[in-house]
Amino acid sequence: MIKLTKFRVIEISAAVVLTLAALVILGWQAWANHKTKPLSLANSKSEASIAESQH
């Protein structure tokens, strides 16, 4: 029973580590995309609206 519980603990910890790694990678990619794309889109939209209001 001790060997089974040790193996189960290793299995669970490995699954947790892999899940955390996947979440970190996905979160970092989403943050990188959010940092580059939506800012440029928002800037172009605000510049267009400012140009329209000035005209």
Number of domains in the chain: 1
- Answer yes or no: pTM beyond 0.85: no
pLDDT at 41: 56
Which 3 state secondary structure label does DSSP give 1? coil
Give residue 8's identity as a one-letter amino acid code.
R
Reply yes or no on whether the pLDDT at 54 is more than 90: no
Q: What digits encode the pLDDT tens for the residues 6-49?
A: 889 999 999 999 999 999 999 999 888 877 765 555 556 666 66
Range of the domain at 26: 3-53
